[in-house]
Chain A
Amino acid sequence: MNYNWNWGIFWEASPEGVGTYLDTLMVGLRWTIVTALCAWILALVFGSLVGVMRTLPSKAAQRIGNAYVELFRNIPFLVQLFLWFFVLPEVLPQAAGLWLKQLPNAPFWTAVIGLGFYMSARVAEQLRAGINALPRGQRMAGTALGLTTAQTYRYVLLPMAFRIILPPLTSEFLNTIKNTSVALTIGLLELTARARAMQEFSFQVFEAFTAATLIYLALNLIVTTGMRLLERKVAVPGYIAGK
């Protein structure tokens, strides 16, 4: 192999004019984290709403919830991103479309919205599984105590269901972080995009990608450890996860 390794490249000035290549990567990391967090909040809110809808007694609510999940699960994320970015501004009324196009940071907002909705379908699927995993008697006990449906969910079903699905939610959050890299196609300069740019400017392909790889691994490790601590903290005694 005749490849010129140059690990010092990270401390050389990047052509962007501000800081070194390492700084560039770190700014990319910040975009990855911010995008993933914003999208995750959106995914949790919408995913919880739709997940609950799919377990409600009302057939109409179930149907709407199922349609929502099928819609967002059966279209590739990249295509969804293009729909939000290229198609939505064109099919909106002209004034609204123009406003969308001129939005500062459009790739960021598009990535947040697109990723948020895409992941919300997965959160909804997990939450439905979590609620269905609870014994039927819990819902009935809630009704027998005179709680309304909303109260049953708030005080009986959801606190336990969310605890049950914490491990799968962790991997969905990791997926959210990984999926932010798809947004480089619409011009979001997150970590992978920065590594790619660094490769184009400096021709040090493998150093750039190695750095990005290590950063993703570290990010994964931090999230996994944090979530494990959270799992232990919220565990309910008497369940397997509890002590």
Chain B
Amino acid sequence: MFSNLDFDVVRRSLGYLFLDGMTFTLTLTALATLGGIVLGTLIALMRLGNLPVLPKIAAAYVNFMRSLPLVLVIFWFYFLVPYIGAWITGAERPIAVGAFTSSLITFTLFEAAYFAEIMRAGIQSIPKGQVAAGYALGLTYPQVMANIVLPQAFRNMLPVLLTQTIILFQDTSLVYVLSLTDFLGAASKVAQRDGRLVEMYLFAAVVYFAISFAASSLVKRLQARTAIIR
């Protein structure tokens, strides 16, 4: 049953798999994490602030995104982004948007909802007295947030943020539905070209497992090290 397997196909396509595929996956993961955390923090601040309407909008956005399957959201943005682009630039017809840009926008906006919930928990874990102390010292709202609350919130939530990044890394494989060449997409293209589905998918699973497992073990160690004993 294993006699007709040929793992040489993996060796022959290593360059394509990692230089094209894995680079795409890692770039998308890194940029979407960065964008997601920035946008997520803003949404969390909106949700926790006491301006009118904004908290409701932020909450609605988070709940809306979190109740949709990622696959559907990927399709949505794939078709919607060209129209939005045309609307922004005032063009007559939908503009051409690269697959990478489209998926980056999708993942940033989608993951921002999840990062927002994490940051909200982080901000809420800071004692109220610290904020009050900041105001008593004469700091403004942006100063209190930037110098007192957010640094601590990030530190407390770092393990959770990183865990969410690992989930995001695994989720990027779903760009397969747009036939993009991420790591899984590359593996799948070679698999179909050479008729070596078993070898390529097993290899892809091993690589994803190795990266995610190593990363989550590191997060666990970090968690033990940065934990504040209260």
Contact = CB atoms under 8 A, between A and B. Distances in A.
Q: Do A and B make up one complex?
A: yes
Interface residues of A, number: 43
B63 to A, nearest CB: 9
B173 interface: yes
B interface residue count range (under 10 / 10 to 19 / 20 to 34 / 35 or more) = 35 or more
> Main SS of chain A's interface residues?
helix
9 contacts: A76-B170, A79-B204, A90-B198, A181-B70, A182-B71, A185-B177, A192-B71, A213-B72, A213-B76
B201 to A, nearest CB: 5
Given A79-B205, A87-B197, A87-B202, A195 B72 contact: yes
Given A90-B198, A213-B76, 19 more contacts: A74-B212, A75-B205, A78-B174, A82-B188, A82-B197, A83-B202, A86-B201, A92-B1, A174-B67, A177-B69, A178-B67, A178-B69, A205-B79, A206-B79, A209-B72, A209-B75, A213-B68, A213-B72, A217-B64
Contacts of A48: none
Most interface-central of B69, B80, B171, B212 (chain A CB within 10 A) = B69
B75 A196 contact: yes
Interface in A67-108: 70-71, 73-80, 82-83, 86-87, 90-94
Interface in B177-220: 177, 184, 188, 197-198, 201-202, 204-205, 208-209, 212-213, 216
A91 B1 contact: yes
A74 B67 contact: no
B71 A3 contact: no
Contact of B205 (A2, A80, A181, A212): A80
Interface stretch (B10-18, B86-94, B135-143, B144-152): B86-94
